[in-house]
Amino acid sequence: MANKALSKAKDTKNDEFYTIYADIEKEMNAYLEYDEDVFRNKTILLPCDDPEWSNFTRYFAQNFEKLGLKKLISTSYAIESKKYKVKDWQPTLFEQQAPWFDVDKSKIKGKIFTLDHDTNRNGRIDIEDLEWKYLEGDGDFCSDEIKRLRDEADYIITNPPFSLFRDFMAWIMESKKKFAVIGNMNAITYKEVFPLLMANKVWMGATGFMSDMVFAVPKGAVVAAKDREKAAKLGYVGDYTRLGNSCWFTNIEHGRRHQPLSLMTEADNIKFSKHKDVKGVGYKKYDNYNAIHIPWVDSIPCDFNGVMGVPISFMGKYCPEQFEILGATQRGCHDAVPDTKKYDDYWEMKPNGKPTGSSGGKTNENANLVQNDGKKNYFVNKNGRIIQSAYQRIFVKFKK
Ligand SMILES: C[S@@+](CC[C@H](N)C(=O)[O-])C[C@H]1O[C@@H](n2cnc3c(N)ncnc32)[C@H](O)[C@@H]1O
């Protein structure tokens, strides 16, 4: 369902998913637990935000003094540049109260909000002291205007447009700044992202991984009934949805990533595992990689010295002191664990034994197992040899 919601987001080019306060606070708390001065005397840029109501702006403005910030900069993207057209758009009251308010400008210009001093002289710096003006342009993060703000900042924190995640990551990495951004778990294996995770230049955030994240959506936006219900169950009733595969990508330190996984030996897994495909069965070797197949992260055997193919969800538990990441299947990310076989002379078959018409070349570089579980498509060659591909795998081994 979560995947469906995300692909729907893609179909309608809807990037309007607004992060809830609690999710921002939880993640920032994890950084603060690790280093209480992490944001002290720092400038934080929140691009891709609508500062009038963004919870990123609210969180950092409200906590300006507690965090010891030097400056907060928050920018928004112009209404008319957004792909999703809000019906009956109206400028906010907040905007209209400013003497420089101009309805036409509000449609085509981005806005910048800054906070760095006690503008209302009430003795504290907080959300009441935010100052705003129109940007020169529409607030596109790729513009020179926003790039200059990026270069001024120490931290870039946001939930960027899902449809531009690759570009956004490239934009951040080019800046060499500290960052925390929300993305889709699928981005883990993007060829632009995975090498960064492998090199420990980027890692997963401390919270929200593999659990539902709720997002606000524009009033009246189409949300699948199930997602609306799930959001409501989590306490968010109305214009909210939930996405099950959102997560944080960051290069800010937190404690979770230094907690090693507690694991059983191979023999104990075979004896006691709660997973039917491990207990009494053991571990299969891939047909085309020199590695064993690990169906579940908690079934990684702690005494195995070779290469293991683990699910993508491993990244939420990855501790760089415990494991080394060697690569991932497909997308050219497995040089250290090369595939040893191609399947161009195989055919793809449906579970009912009927050919799909596709060549086995389709499963080259997947992690393939000699099996037919009767549930998924399989591949067969002229000698009747059968293989099936596992879901995408990350290759890891224990650090010595
Ligand atoms: C996923 S939403 C998140 C908004 C906000 N960061 C939050 O979490 O509440 C991403 C926002 O980025 C805006 N956006 C889309 N393309 C953009 C671009 N090229 N530059 C800046 N913002 C953009 C979208 O209109 C949308 O409002």
For the stretch 44-62, pLDDT in tens is: 999 998 877 799 999 999 9
Q: Is 49 in the pocket of ligand 1 (CB under 6 A)?
A: yes
Report the SS3 class of residue 186.
helix
Beta strand 203-204 pairing with 246-250: antiparallel
Q: Which residues contact 391 (CB under 8 A, 6 or more apart)?
A: 311, 312
pLDDT band at 297 (very low <50, low <70, confident <90, very high): very high
- Dihedral sign for Cα 317, 322, 325, 326, please: negative
Q: Is 77 in the pocket of ligand 1 (CB under 6 A)?
A: yes
- Amino acid 138: pLDDT: 97
Q: What is the dihedral of CA 223, 229, 230, 231, to 10 degrees?
A: 70
Residue to mutate (ligand 1; options 77, 157, 162, 165; most atoms within 8 A of CB): 77
List, for residues 243-290, the tens digit of each pLDDT value: 989 999 999 999 999 999 999 999 999 999 999 999 999 999 999 999
List, for residues 14-27, the tens digit of each pLDDT value: 789 999 999 999 99
Q: How far is the CA of 338 from the centre of ligand 1 (A)?
A: 39
On the question of pLDDT at 7 being above 50, the answer is no
Q: Is 159 in the pocket of ligand 1 (CB under 6 A)?
A: yes
Residue 254: strand pairing partners: none
For residue 94, give both structure tokens: 């907040």
List, for residues 164-181, the tens digit of each pLDDT value: 999 999 999 999 999 999
Name which residue sits closest to atom 16 of ligand 1, judged by CA.
161
Atom number of ligand 1 nearest to Cα 84:
25
- Amino acid 13: pLDDT: 57
- Amino acid 224: pLDDT: 93
pLDDT band at 400 (very low <50, low <70, confident <90, very high): confident
- Amino acid 346: pLDDT: 98
List, for residues 242-252, the tens digit of each pLDDT value: 998 999 999 99
List, for residues 360-395, the tens digit of each pLDDT value: 999 999 999 999 999 999 999 999 999 999 999 999
Q: If 0-12 CB within 10 Å is exposed, 13-18 middle and 19+ buried, where does residue 142 land?
A: exposed
